[in-house]
Amino acid sequence: MNKVYMIVGLGRSGTTIIGKKLAEHLGGFFLGELIYLSSRGLENQSLCGCGEYIKDCEVWSPIISKLSEAEKATLKCAEEDLRIKNVFRFKNQSTYRDLFKRVHSLCGDRRLVDSSKIFPYAFMFRKDPNYVFIHVVRDPVQVTSSMLSKKYIPELGTEGYLHNGGLLRTPLRWSVVNLLVKYLLPIRYTVFYEDFIEHPEKLLAKIAESTPNALSGHSLAGNPSRFGDQTIKPQPQKKKFTWFEHFSIRALSWPYRIITRRYL
């Protein structure tokens, strides 16, 4: 099996756009958030990055057809058991690891970019040399602002919340998740979103040499930025915070900020 570049971190940190651009740079296959293969690819009528429903996509349909009914049922259980709230349960870890490695192997001989980002999911592969871990971090104020803002959801044809983490819960999760990733995963590269926006090619070149013929338009889940050819550019803060709200976000996110000396 070719290398799998595993992107980890908290949602709304730019993992989708970074994952897509990395796949393009590698000439690889951008999977999107593979952890959601069951709910987005097998159960619901969710769109692939190419615009087709995942079950009808020319790339994903052959992959799904090779999974047994038992494997599909296990994927559904894995999606619940591997959520961050179950971080210390480690339920059925070896079973889930072997199954997702099989799915990775079904995705062809390209280098793969998996932006599932959930810590318990990534933790399963920490000892496998075929997996390269990339930690993506973004300013906690910007992450919280994005969490509290609506986005256009193509499947619904309207705006909605992808995941509303809450004003206090989001910065707290930001610190916890980033600390878990930093100290419990064999991180090869740490990418700060703001640095990537400024010098994308420079940071991508540090990870691997450029290779043509990418398959980056078939991600099965993630931010709507996975649709189409997205331009890399700074994103304005969508929600403005009061002085007290801003102070609360900074206070709850201080552990990781102090350790890394970023966003001070």
pLDDT band at 237 (very low <50, low <70, confident <90, very high): confident
Which of the two residues, 159 and 64, has the higher pLDDT score?
64
What's the pLDDT score for residue 216? 67
Question: Within a 10 A sphere around the Cβ of 102, how many other Cβ atoms?
Answer: 13
- State which residues form the domain around 110: 4-260
pLDDT band at 48 (very low <50, low <70, confident <90, very high): confident
Place of tokens 């995942």: 54
What's the pLDDT score for residue 130? 93
The yes-or-no verdict on residue 115 having pLDDT over 90 is yes
If one counts the domains in the chain, the total is 1
Angstrom distance (rounded) from CA 75 to CA 234: 36
The yes-or-no verdict on residue 161 having pLDDT over 80 is no
What's the pLDDT score for residue 206? 87
Mean pLDDT of 106-127: 93
What's the pLDDT score for residue 55? 85
What's the pLDDT score for residue 148? 84
Angstrom distance (rounded) from CA 238 to CA 78: 33
pLDDT in tens, 70-97: 999 999 999 888 887 766 666 788 899 9
The yes-or-no verdict on residue 172 having pLDDT over 60 is yes
Asked whether the beta carbons of 16 and 226 are under 8 A apart, the reply is: yes
Angstrom distance (rounded) from CA 247 to CA 264: 12
Mean pLDDT of 109-115: 93
Asked whether the beta carbons of 213 and 7 are under 8 A apart, the reply is: no
pLDDT in tens, 188-233: 999 999 999 999 988 898 888 766 666 666 677 666 665 566 666 6
For 116, counting Cβ atoms within 10 Å of its Cβ (0-12 exposed, 13-18 middle, 19+ buried), the class is: buried
Q: What are the C-alpha distances in Å from 236 to residues 130, 194, 239?
A: 37, 12, 9
Helix axes 243-252, 140-147, angle to 10 degrees: 120
The yes-or-no verdict on residue 171 having pLDDT over 70 is yes
For 251, counting Cβ atoms within 10 Å of its Cβ (0-12 exposed, 13-18 middle, 19+ buried), the class is: exposed
- Domain with residue 112: its CATH number is 3.40.50
What's the pLDDT score for residue 61? 92
The yes-or-no verdict on residue 157 having pLDDT over 70 is no
Coil vs helix vs strand at 201? helix
Question: What burial letters (b/e) apply to 42-77, b meaning 16+ CB within 10 Å?
Answer: beeebbbbbeebbeebebbeebbeebeeeebebbee
Angstrom distance (rounded) from CA 166 to CA 248: 12
Model-level pTM?
0.88
